């Protein structure tokens, strides 16, 4: 479990295709406090630490994960939002995030708004009922608040979020551009409610 509060921005320093894709990620974390087998959210994807050095850790990205996440983040030089797993007693500053991506979204609009940036995002229509105005959503592992949501003429669902200056400085969301792919995880509570309603309707 995670909270969507990014605590480091790592850099993929090596990407090697084996049976799975092995990534080495540079980080500012104290790796002495990170055990092999620990979970770290990498731009919203829960991955397992399989090796580590003084300033890097390694993860294996399976074919299933590659097929369900934004493509451009799994390459050498890519920046990743990092968050270590939640411990009992930690402050829940964002919302409950599982690290399981529901869909790959696309940025459809970027508009400065005061000191912040309003970002319009498109997701598949089936996720629409689980996204609510003023509800929480995880974008590339960052906990954000939904401003508004609507079904769009292109067949998808569009919603908007605001990226405040602090979030822009502490994450990879500073330079979003139209067409950029993003990992989206809806609020886990909405996911369960949708499942229960679907089962009740059968």
In a domain, 36, yes or no: yes
In a domain, 96, yes or no: no
Q: In which band, very low, low, confident or very high, does the pLDDT at 93 lie, cut at 50, 70 and 90? A: confident
In a domain, 3, yes or no: no
Share of the chain above pLDDT 90, in %: 82
Res. 201: pLDDT tops 80? no
Q: Which domain holds residue 23?
A: 8-84
pLDDT of residue 188: 84
Q: How far apart are CA 124 and CA 154, in angstroms?
A: 10
- DSSP state at residue 74: S
The three-class DSSP label of residue 170 is helix
Average pLDDT on 27-52 reads 97
In a domain, 1, yes or no: no
Question: Are 123 and 189 part of one and the same domain?
Answer: yes
User: Residue 180 to residues 105, 114, 151, 173, 175: CA-CA distances in angstroms?
Assistant: 8, 22, 20, 11, 10
Average pLDDT on 94-121 reads 94
In a domain, 147, yes or no: yes
Question: Are 129 and 196 part of one and the same domain?
Answer: yes
Question: Are 132 and 180 part of one and the same domain?
Answer: yes
In a domain, 94, yes or no: no
Which of 54, 84, 114 is at the close of a domain? 84
Question: Are 47 and 132 part of one and the same domain?
Answer: no
Compute the chain's Rg from CA coordinates: 17
In a domain, 71, yes or no: yes
Res. 190: pLDDT tops 90? no
54-79 pLDDT, tens digit per residue, is 999 999 999 999 999 999 999 999 99
Tokens (6 digits) for 176: 């979003």
Domain CATH for 30: 2.40.30.20
156-189 pLDDT, tens digit per residue, is 999 999 999 999 999 999 989 999 999 999 998 8
Write down the pTM of the prediction.
0.92
Question: Are 59 and 108 part of one and the same domain?
Answer: no
110-152 pLDDT, tens digit per residue, is 999 999 999 999 999 999 999 999 999 999 999 999 999 999 8
Tokens (6 digits) for 195: 């499942």
Q: In which band, very low, low, confident or very high, does the pLDDT at 197 lie, cut at 50, 70 and 90? A: confident
Res. 94: pLDDT tops 90? no
Question: Are 107 and 188 part of one and the same domain?
Answer: yes
pLDDT of residue 152: 86
Question: Are 42 and 112 part of one and the same domain?
Answer: no
Question: Are 79 and 15 part of one and the same domain?
Answer: yes
Res. 18: pLDDT tops 80? yes
Question: Are 136 and 193 part of one and the same domain?
Answer: yes
Task: Specify the number of domains making up the chain.
Answer: 2
Average pLDDT on 21-27 reads 98
Question: Are 143 and 170 part of one and the same domain?
Answer: yes
Question: Are 160 and 195 part of one and the same domain?
Answer: yes
Question: Are 188 and 107 part of one and the same domain?
Answer: yes
- State the DSSP string of 28-54: SS-GGG--TT-EEEETTEEEEEEEE-S
Average pLDDT on 17-37 reads 96
Residue 55, judged by CB atoms within 10 A of its CB (0-12, 13-18, 19+), counts as middle
């Amino acid at each position: 479990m995670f909270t969507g509060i990014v605590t480091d921005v790592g850099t993929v320093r090596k990407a090697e295709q084996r049976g799975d894709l092995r990534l080495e990620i540079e980080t500012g974390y104290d790796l002495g406090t990170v055990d092999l087998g620990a979970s770290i959210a990498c731009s919203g994807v829960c991955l397992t630490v399989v090796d580590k050095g003084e300033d890097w850790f390694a993860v294996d990205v399976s074919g299933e994960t590659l097929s369900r996440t934004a493509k451009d983040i799994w390459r050498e030089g890519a920046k990743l939002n990092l968050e270590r797993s939640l411990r009992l007693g930690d402050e829940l500053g964002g919302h409950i995030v599982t690290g399981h991506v529901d869909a790959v979204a696309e940025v459809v609009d970027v508009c400065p708004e005061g000191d912040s940036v309003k970002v319009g995002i498109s997701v598949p229509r089936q996720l629409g009922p689980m996204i609510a105005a003023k509800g929480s959503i995880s974008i590339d592992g960052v906990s954000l608040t939904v401003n508004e949501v609507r079904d769009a003429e292109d067949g998808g669902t569009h919603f908007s979020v605001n990226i405040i200056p602090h979030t822009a400085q502490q994450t990879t969301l500073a330079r979003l551009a139209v067409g950029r792919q993003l990992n989206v995880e809806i609020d886990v509570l909405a996911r369960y409610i949708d499942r229960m309603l679907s089962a009740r309707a059968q």
